[in-house]
Amino acid sequence: MRLTLDPRLFQSAAPAVDEEGRHRPVGYWQETVPVAPGAPLAERLRCDVAIVGAGFTGLSTAYHLKKYKPDLDVVVLEAGVAGHGASGRNGGFVMPLIGWDLLYTVQKLGEEAAGAAYRLMYRAVAHVKRVVADHGIDCDLEATGYLLLNTCEARERRARRELEAAHRLGFDHEWLEGAALAEHIRSDCFRSGVFDPHPCVVNPAKLVRGMKALVESLGVRVYERTPLLELEGGKPVCLRTESGEVRARQALLALNGYGGALGFMPSRVLPVHTYIVLTEPLRAEQLDAVGWGKRRTSLESARNFIHYFRLTADNRILFGGEDATMYYGGRYYDRDEKVFRALKDRFHEYFPALRGVRFTHEWGGVLGVSLDMFPTFGQQDNIFHAGAYSGHGVALSNYAGAILAPRMLRAAGVTDAEEPEPENPFFYGRRPAWLGADPVRYLGVQAYRYLLRAQDRLQGA
Ligand SMILES: Cc1cc2nc3c(=O)[nH]c(=O)nc-3n(C[C@H](O)[C@H](O)[C@H](O)COP(=O)(O)OP(=O)(O)OC[C@H]3O[C@@H](n4cnc5c(N)ncnc54)[C@H](O)[C@@H]3O)c2cc1C
């Protein structure tokens, strides 16, 4: 394998660090964590494992490798600062969703395999709670549960079928409508919903910075401001940066939506963007007006283009979704004014009682999406990869190391490690569908997006 970075794709996105070397936060979460960017790699070094990307995937894998084999020499190369990508910008929903939804996953994999996939995702949710508790990571974790809301009849019918499938598989999801629904949220737009008590929410920037500190305390070297410019497969794998070089027995590409910029699976894992707007902190009577005061439930609307909304620790409403798009050539952006306007309009439609509320922050980021919305984990010789979480990767990317580390240690012939039997998820070794190069890839995405939006409109969702 040989990869080369195309830096032009980053021209429209803000760098993580300004010219004086100070951190430049993107979005609200990153403002809540002070960051002193680390020094770039400025030497040639050798190590056992080189990880590219310090988001949840990269840091989770570093954590698990050190947990199972404490003397392993692990190095992380990060282009910006740890958590500059999706891991430090997302909605913070830690949830078990995989694929489009449970019904879709059952249809694609069959009921038994879908059940296994969702059970793995619940282990991932539990894992996040456990790591946060075991290591005392301060990330405002709140066990809010998660309520998927139906805004139209067609979605309600699908939700009922999905609930039946969930019960057959032994999951304790609950149907809510009328007064029971109003205990969680009040809006004329929501007819009913399905409640899952297990998901939680976090401040993702605090979690990812907490994970960085944790792996550093275990001896992992994290080089920030160090974009990988070139990778050359072989034994060892050679990774070149602007002022350094790493030779590693194994490498992990933990890049999710950024892989395409290095030429890694650009036609299979698409760099799709999603955006968020955030209000000022709300007073108790404002939250009561929409029924959100007591339960603090995290919510999503059931549509092709979902809306996700939740409260922050200081009672702001985070409201995201509405659209999701890829830009021509696979370019990266942090902002899209059209989507911000549409999000605010939708917020007012859902919550007319909150008309005077001020929005203080707007931001977005890139995630890796495959055509069928399933992730891809795998390896080519001694180079491993994980990504394509398709918009719901917080739980699974934090669990990625539990899946990857045992396999990496076995592949390296490490026999004295304390690792458990590796998980064997259906997406290990799975290559997502090939979608061509631009302009075909771009036009295909736009056509698909148009169809999905049209279906949402026709259904009145
Ligand atoms: C706005 C938004 C909202 C979201 N909301 C949710 C949600 O609520 N719940 C949920 O489950 N999922 C959500 N997601 C998705 C979730 O955030 C991701 O699936 C997850 O964070 C992926 O983590 P990662 O470590 O694989 O990738 P990333 O966090 O993107 O990490 C990749 C890292 O690689 C670095 N990098 C890129 N190029 C190079 C290079 N050449 N050399 C070195 N480093 C490089 C980047 O700077 C970045 O830090 C959201 C995503 C976005 C963008």
Residue 289 Cα to ligand 1 middle (Å) = 34
Residue-wise pLDDT tens digits, 227-263: 999 999 999 999 999 999 999 999 999 999 999 999 9
Topology of domain 2-89+204-266+372-443, CATH: FAD/NAD(P)-binding domain (3.50.50)
Ligand 1 neighbours by CB, cut-off 6 Å: 5, 52-58, 77-80, 84-87, 89-93, 95, 227-228, 254-258, 261-262, 274, 276, 308, 320, 364-367, 387, 389, 391-395, 397
Q: Are 88 and 207 in contact (CB under 8 A)?
A: no
Q: How far is 430 from 213, CA to CA, in rounded Å? A: 32
Residue 55 Cα to ligand 1 middle (Å) = 6
Residue 259 Cα to ligand 1 middle (Å) = 11
Residue-wise pLDDT tens digits, 202-233: 999 999 999 999 999 999 999 999 999 999 99
Kindly tell me if the per-residue pLDDT of 172 is higher than 80: yes
CATH architecture of 142-202+270-369: 2-Layer Sandwich (3.30)
Q: In Å, how far are 147, 152, 450 from 301, measured between CA atoms?
A: 9, 10, 19
Q: What pLDDT does 39 receive?
A: 93
Give 338-363 as a 3 state SS string: HHHHHHHHHHHHHCHHHCCCCEEEEE
Q: Are 420 and 64 in contact (CB under 8 A)?
A: no
Cis peptide bond prior to 425, omega within 30° of 0: no
Q: Is the dihedral of CA 4, 90, 397, 433 positive or negative?
A: negative
Same fold, 2-89+204-266+372-443 and 142-202+270-369: no
Q: Are 67 and 42 in contact (CB under 8 A)?
A: no
Residues paired with 387 in a beta bridge:
376
Q: What pLDDT does 336 receive?
A: 97
Q: In Å, how far are 147, 228, 264, 322, 380 from 231, measured between CA atoms?
A: 43, 7, 11, 37, 13
Residue 82 Cα to ligand 1 middle (Å) = 10
Residue-wise pLDDT tens digits, 125-137: 999 999 999 999 9
Could you identify the atom of ligand 1 that is nearest to the CA of residue 97? 11
Q: In Å, how far are 62, 77, 78, 266 from 229, measured between CA atoms?
A: 21, 11, 11, 16
Mutate to test the pocket of ligand 1, among 63, 90, 272 (most ligand atoms within 8 A of CB): 90
Q: How far is 324 from 367, CA to CA, in rounded Å? A: 10
Instruction: Give the model's confidence band at 461: pLDDT under 50 very low, under 70 low, under 90 confident, else very high.
Output: confident
Instruction: Give the model's confidence band at 294: pLDDT under 50 very low, under 70 low, under 90 confident, else very high.
Output: confident
Cis peptide bond prior to 439, omega within 30° of 0: yes
Neighbouring residues of 74: CB distance < 8 A, sequence distance ≥ 6:
47, 48, 49, 51, 62, 65, 66, 215, 219, 220, 221
Q: Are 88 and 105 in contact (CB under 8 A)?
A: no
Q: How far is 362 from 26, CA to CA, in rounded Å? A: 9
* Domain extents in the chain: 2-89+204-266+372-443, 142-202+270-369
Strand, coil or helix: what is 440? Answer: helix
